[in-house]
Amino acid sequence: MHSPKSIFLAAFPLLSAVAAECGSRYPVFTLEPINLSSYYTYTTPSASGPKEGHISFSLKSDQFGYVTECAGTTVMPLGQFYGFQIFECANSKPWEKSSFSFDSYSKAITVNTTWTCGGDVVYSTSVSGTTNLECETNTWQNPDWQSGELYSNTSTTCAPGALVIRA
């Protein structure tokens, strides 16, 4: 009969071997291409109308062997994203989950991932980084605005960018 201690010690090399096969100790997450755009419309000089923001990117990491597509849409004021908004990525397997948040003001992206490796071993990682997107904002304003017409429209489009986050 084996003592519980000897069973644990016998299993320890197996657990160590599984961890070594599951990516690097300090994972690297790559987000590219990051596409960001937004628009908002004023129906009168003081009344906001439609507004929307879009962000999308492909997420890959040396921790797991797949690429997942991440996208989010906001209808917050001025089409801005706030860090409390969580968006789910398109995960290929039910036990692999990725989500992210983005903050328009700080340009920070936080990525959360959960995946399995070696059977029942579950890993979770949360990483953050700041983007340096080059964006252009254009505003059109109706010079002869009359009630019932659009007053202005502002759109922002960013050149595709990339972000590499090392944990």
CA distance 8 to 4: 6
pLDDT in tens, 98-110: 999 999 999 999 9
- Rounded to the nearest angstrom, the gap between the alpha carbon of residue 9 and the centroid of all alpha carbons in its chain is 40
Q: Give the lowest-confidence range in 14-23, 79-88, 136-145.
A: 14-23
Cα angle 46, 52, 57 (rounded to 5 degrees) comes to: 150
Report yes or no on 159 lying in a domain: yes
Mapped onto helix, strand or coil, the DSSP state of residue 38 is: strand
Report yes or no on 14 lying in a domain: no
Give the DSSP H or E segment for 116. strand 108-116
Report yes or no on 55 lying in a domain: yes
Domain count, the chain: 1
Report yes or no on 91 lying in a domain: yes
Bridge partners (DSSP) of residue 114 are 97, 124
Report yes or no on 48 lying in a domain: yes
| Residues 113/91, Cβ–Cβ less than 8 Å | no
Report yes or no on 2 lying in a domain: no
Q: Which CATH number do you get for residue 82?
A: 2.40.350
Q: 54 or 15, which is more confident?
A: 54
Report yes or no on 7 lying in a domain: no
CB atoms within 10 A of CB 48: 13
pLDDT in tens, 54-92: 999 999 998 877 799 999 999 999 899 999 999 999 987
| Residues 42/67, Cβ–Cβ less than 8 Å | no
CA distance 85 to 107: 14
Structural domain span for residue 122:
24-166
CA distance 121 to 108: 30
Encoded tokens for 154? 């502002």
Please compute the mean of the pLDDT values over residues 128-140 and round it to a whole number. Answer: 97
Q: What is the pTM of this model?
A: 0.82
